[in-house]
């Protein structure tokens, strides 16, 4: 279903743009997402996708920005950290709680989405994608409740609840299980190592040194319903 380049975000042959949704998705996800969007609309919500397919280069830019301190870096509770005061290992530990290693992002597969309710916010709203927005009195709390009840019937689930996965809870992140689970099982540490070997990844030697551990905790480990 996936080749090694698709699994690690270095190819886009498994996805296509969906102008109606303003996103790029795995071809086998599109129909079910349209169905879930229609059901949400019947409930008074306008399901909008703020992130879908993301390639290796984009994930690399996110990682390097955080590792270098050019982009914000946070601890497990969401407090800002000063990258310059952290060792390479500490920086890696902070990043992987919120952002995937390039080549290991579930967004590479086109199966995973960050979702909001467009009807719940005004035109000037500054989206943050933080847990407070998805719990009362946050604007997306009704959507979060609706998704908890209804997403599974369309094949979607939350992979990051902060229980089995090392990634912090992301109530906005949903994954299409029938396709994503095949990708998760196929993405081995060896495939990830091959994707990283030639990449200009900051902290690469430290990542590769711990790759098996990082893969087990932040890639293979997910939260099933």
What average pLDDT does the segment 170-194 reach? 97
pLDDT for res 115: 98
Confidence label for 154 from pLDDT (cuts 50, 70 and 90): very high
The whole-number average pLDDT for the span 175-186 is 97
Neighbour-count burial for 35-48, b at 16+ CB within 10 Å, e otherwise: ebbebbeeeebebb
- Using alpha carbons, list the distances in angstroms from residue 136 to 112, 131, 132, 140, 221: 24, 10, 8, 8, 28
Show the tokens assigned to 57. Answer: 């280069």
Residue 218 is given by DSSP the state: I
* Nearest alpha carbon to residue 201 among 209, 82, 85: 209
How much of the chain, in percent, has pLDDT values that exceed 70?
A: 100
Residues 214 and 208: their CA atoms lie apart, in Å, by: 9
Q: Can you read off the two tokens belonging to residue 75? A: 């601890």
- List the one residue out of 173, 171, 169, 213 whose CA is nearest residue 192: 213
Work out the average pLDDT over 134-146.
Answer: 98
Residue 76 predicted with pLDDT over 90: no
- How does DSSP assign 109-141, residue by residue? GT-EEEEEEGGGS-TT------GGGGSTTSTTH
Q: How far apart are CA 81 and CA 58, in angstroms?
A: 22
**What gap in Å lies between CA 105 and CA 216, rounded to an integer?**
14
- The pLDDT value given to residue 177: 97
Place 9 in a pLDDT band, splitting at 50, 70 and 90.
Answer: very high
Assigned architecture for domain 4-128+137-152+166-220: 2-Layer Sandwich (3.30)
Judge whether residue 25 has pLDDT over 90: yes
How far apart, in whole angstroms, are the C-alpha atoms of residue 189 and residue 207? Answer: 11
- Alpha carbons within 13 angstroms on the beta-carbon side of residue 211 total 20
The pTM assigned to this predicted structure is 0.95
Residue 140 to residue 145: CA distance in whole angstroms: 9
pLDDT value of residue 1: 79
HSE (CB half, 13 Å, CA atoms) of 28?
15
CA-CA distance, 110 to 32, in Å (whole number)? 13
Give the chain's mean pLDDT: 96
């Amino acid at each position: 279903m996936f080749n090694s380049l698709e699994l690690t975000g270095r190819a886009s042959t498994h996805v296509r743009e969906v102008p109606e949704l303003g996103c790029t998705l795995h071809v086998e996800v599109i129909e079910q997402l349209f169905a879930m969007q229609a059901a949400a609309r019947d409930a008074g919500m306008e399901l909008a996708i703020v992130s879908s397919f993301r390639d290796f280069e984009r994930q690399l830019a996110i990682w390097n920005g955080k590792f270098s301190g050019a982009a914000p870096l946070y601890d497990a509770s969401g407090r800002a950290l000063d990258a310059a005061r952290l060792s390479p290992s500490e920086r890696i530990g902070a990043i992987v709680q919120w952002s995937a290693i390039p080549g290991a992002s579930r967004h590479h597969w086109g199966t995973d989405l960050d979702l909001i309710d467009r009807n719940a916010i005004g035109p000037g709203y500054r989206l943050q994608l933080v847990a407070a927005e998805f719990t009362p009195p946050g604007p997306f709390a009704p959507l979060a409740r609706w998704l908890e009840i209804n997403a599974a019937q369309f094949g979607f689930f939350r992979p990051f609840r902060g229980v089995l996965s090392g990634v912090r809870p992301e109530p906005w992140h949903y994954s299409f299980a029938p396709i994503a689970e095949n990708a998760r099982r196929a993405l081995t540490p060896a495939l990830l190592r091959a994707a990283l070997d030639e990449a200009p990844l900051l902290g690469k030697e430290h990542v590769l040194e711990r790759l098996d551990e990082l893969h087990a905790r932040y890639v293979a480990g997910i939260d099933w319903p």
